[in-house]
Amino acid sequence: MTTALIILGAGMGTRMNSDLPKVLHPIGGAPMIVHAMRAGGGLAPEKTVIVAGHGAEAVSQAALDYDPDAQTVLQTQQLGTAHAVGCAKDALAGFKGDAVVLYGDTPFISVETLEAMAAARALHDIVVLGFEAADPGRYGRLITDGETLDRIVEFKDTNDEERAVTLCNSGVIMARSETLFDLIDSVGNANAAGEYYLTDIIAIGRAKGLSATVVVCDEAETLGINSRTELAAAEAAFQARARADALEDGVTLLAPDTVYFAYDTVLGRDAVIEQNVIFGPDVTVESGARIRAFSHLEGCHVSRGATVGPFARLRPGAELQENVHVGNFVEIKNAVLAEGAKANHLTYIGDADIGERTNIGAGTITCNYDGVFKHRTTIGADAFIGSNTMLVAPVTVGREAMTASGTVVTKDVPDGALAVGRARQDNKAGLAVQMFDKLKAAKIKQTKGS
CB of 152 to ligand UD1, least distance (A): 6
Strand partners of residue 127: 174, 213
Provide the 3-class DSSP secondary structure of residue 146.
Answer: coil
Q: Please answer whether residues 238 and 27 qualify as being in contact, where contact means their C-beta atoms are separated by less than 8 angstroms.
A: yes
Compute the distance between CA of residue 132 and CA of residue 152 in angstroms, rounded to an integer: 14
SS (H, E, C) 240-277: HHHHHHHHHCCCEECCHHHCECCCCCEECCCCEECCCC
Axis-axis angle for helices 32-41, 111-121 (nearest 10): 50
Q: Residue 2 or 61: which CB sits closer to ligand UD1?
A: 61
C-alpha distances (whole Å) from 129 to each of 118, 172, 268, 343 are 11, 5, 34, 52
* Footprint (CB under 6 A) of ligand UD1, residues 45-84: 51, 75, 78-81, 83-84
Using CB under 6 A, pick the residue from 95, 108, 131, 139 that binds ligand UD1. Answer: 139
**10 φ/ψ angles, rounded to the nearest 5 degrees:** -90, -20
Asked if 167 touches ligand UD1 (CB under 6 A), the answer is no
C-alpha distances (whole Å) from 70 to each of 5, 88, 94, 434 are 9, 12, 17, 78
Catalytic residue among 35, 54, 345, 375: 345
Binding mask 80-109 for ligand UD1 (x = CB under 6 A): xx-xx------------------xxx----
C-alpha distances (whole Å) from 59 to each of 8, 22, 104, 150, 226 are 11, 9, 10, 35, 17
Look at residues 35, 28, 33 and name the one whose alpha carbon lies nearest to residue 260: 28
CB of 198 to ligand UD1, least distance (A): 4
Compute the distance between CA of residue 266 and CA of residue 247 in angstroms, rounded to an integer: 12
CB of 172 to ligand UD1, least distance (A): 9
Asked if 169 touches ligand UD1 (CB under 6 A), the answer is yes
Residue type, 369: Y
CB of 243 to ligand UD1, least distance (A): 27
Asked if 305 touches ligand UD1 (CB under 6 A), the answer is no
Contact region for ligand UD1 (CB under 6 A) — 194-202, 238-246, 304-312, 342-350?
194-202
Q: Residue 168 or 217: which CB sits closer to ligand UD1?
A: 168
How many residues touch ligand UD1 under the rule CB under 6 A: the total is: 27
CB of 212 to ligand UD1, least distance (A): 14
Asked if 348 touches ligand UD1 (CB under 6 A), the answer is no
Asked if 198 touches ligand UD1 (CB under 6 A), the answer is yes
CB of 133 to ligand UD1, least distance (A): 9
Compute the distance between CA of residue 185 and CA of residue 83 in angstroms, rounded to an integer: 9
Judge if the upstream peptide bond of residue 394 is cis by omega within 30 degrees of 0.
yes
Q: Residue 83 or 206: which CB sits closer to ligand UD1?
A: 83
Q: Residue 131 or 263: which CB sits closer to ligand UD1?
A: 131
Compute the distance between CA of residue 291 and CA of residue 300 in angstroms, rounded to an integer: 13
Q: Please answer whether residues 243 and 263 qualify as being in contact, where contact means their C-beta atoms are separated by less than 8 angstroms.
A: no
Asked if 158 touches ligand UD1 (CB under 6 A), the answer is no
345 is catalytic: yes
Using CB under 6 A, pick the residue from 4, 6, 10, 401 that binds ligand UD1. Answer: 10
Asked if 140 touches ligand UD1 (CB under 6 A), the answer is yes
* Footprint (CB under 6 A) of ligand UD1, residues 221-260: 224
The footprint of ligand UD1 (CB under 6 A) covers 8-11, 51, 75, 78-81, 83-84, 103-105, 139-140, 152, 154, 168-171, 197-199, 224
For the annotated catalytic residues, the residue numbers are 345
